């Protein structure tokens, strides 16, 4: 691993008795505790990390922020908020390491463009970015509103559209355009979520297209512990191997270390 290698996408769940899940949720995960993640991180030589608020907690960021406190200065966090949050609450989250807001647009009933714009205005003074779980086939209609926020945009999991359709999809092309012009970043993560092949070989054309569009706009995430996914995962070790195979050693090192240092402020 390069110095400062960062896992830019993982979650902590539980203990459920202490951190109750939102009544309206798409799935109920088993506990995935911080000590287990720390062991996972150490075994792979990952020195930095970015914890992402999962949808099952809704707007209650307590589990994510408490884990962020425990991880210390080598960690950053992505939270979920709405426009009712106060400046003081944002400032307190920033002090604890939060650097972005996540929006789940994968399912009907998610936040609309107006709410995204209002939240963007609230977090703008803190230098945060906006992260999206979205099927990028739906991106062309939303792209103008996202660009209008003027904040950095981060797309999860290759844009979360089927690998078999991505290269011909207007939405994937739209994401590539946003990466090229410096509006957006993309996470090389969750390949098994969009792949039809056991070790995500069909994601290689997507990875190469992303690397051509903006090699300095890509980061990597393990998606540990792979929540809400029923099928067997090839696991993060296979996906790390694919990263080095697809990108080569120099670019893989940038994706693992230099790029996340800029996006998440580890250079501060």
At residue 214, the pLDDT reads: 98
Q: Which residue from 141, 130, 83, 134 is spatially nearest to 107, judged by alpha carbons?
A: 134
The mean pLDDT value of the chain amounts to 94
219: left (phi over 0), alpha (psi -120 to 50) or beta: beta
At residue 211, the pLDDT reads: 98
At residue 107, the pLDDT reads: 77
For 116-129, what is each residue's pLDDT tens digit?
999 999 999 999 99
For 83-102, what is each residue's pLDDT tens digit?
999 999 999 999 999 999 99
What single DSSP character describes residue 183? S
CA-based angle 161:166:171, to the nearest 5? Answer: 75
Q: Which residue from 171, 170, 250 is spatially nearest to 218, judged by alpha carbons?
A: 250
Enzyme catalytic residues = 223
Distance CA(39)–CA(33), nearest Å, equals: 10
Going from the N-terminus, what domains does the chain have, and what CATH number goes with each?
6-264 (3.20.20.140)
For 183-241, what is each residue's pLDDT tens digit?
999 999 999 999 988 789 999 999 999 999 999 999 999 999 998 776 666 677 888 99
């Amino acid at each position: 691993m390069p110095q400062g290698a960062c896992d830019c996408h993982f979650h902590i769940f539980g203990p459920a008795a202490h951190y109750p899940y939102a009544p309206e949720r798409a799935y109920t995960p088993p506990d995935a505790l911080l000590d287990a993640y720390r062991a996972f991180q150490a075994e792979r030589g990952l020195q930095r990390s970015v914890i992402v608020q999962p949808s099952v907690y809704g707007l209650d960021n307590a589990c994510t922020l408490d884990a962020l406190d425990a991880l210390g200065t080598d960690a950053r966090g992505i939270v979920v908020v709405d426009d009712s949050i106060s400046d003081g609450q944002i400032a307190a989250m920033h002090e604890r390491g939060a650097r972005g807001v996540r929006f789940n647009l994968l399912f009907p009933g998610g936040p609309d463009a107006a709410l995204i714009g209002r939240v963007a205005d609230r977090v703008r003074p803190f230098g945060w970015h906006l992260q999206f779980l979205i099927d990028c086939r739906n991106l062309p209609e939303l792209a103008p509103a996202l660009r209008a926020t003027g904040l950095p945009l981060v797309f999860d999991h290759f844009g979360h559209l089927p690998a078999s359709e991505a290269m011909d999809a207007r939405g994937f092309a739209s994401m590539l355009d946003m990466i090229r012009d410096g509006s957006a970043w993309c996470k090389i993560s969750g390949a098994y979520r969009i792949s039809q092949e056991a070790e995500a070989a069909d994601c290689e054309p997507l990875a190469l297209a992303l690397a051509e569009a903006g090699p300095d706009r890509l980061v990597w995430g393990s998606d540990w512990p792979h929540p809400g996914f029923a099928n067997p995962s090839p696991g993060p070790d296979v996906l790390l191997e694919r990263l080095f195979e697809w990108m080569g050693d120099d670019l893989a090192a940038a994706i693992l270390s230099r790029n996340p240092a800029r996006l998440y402020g580890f250079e501060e």
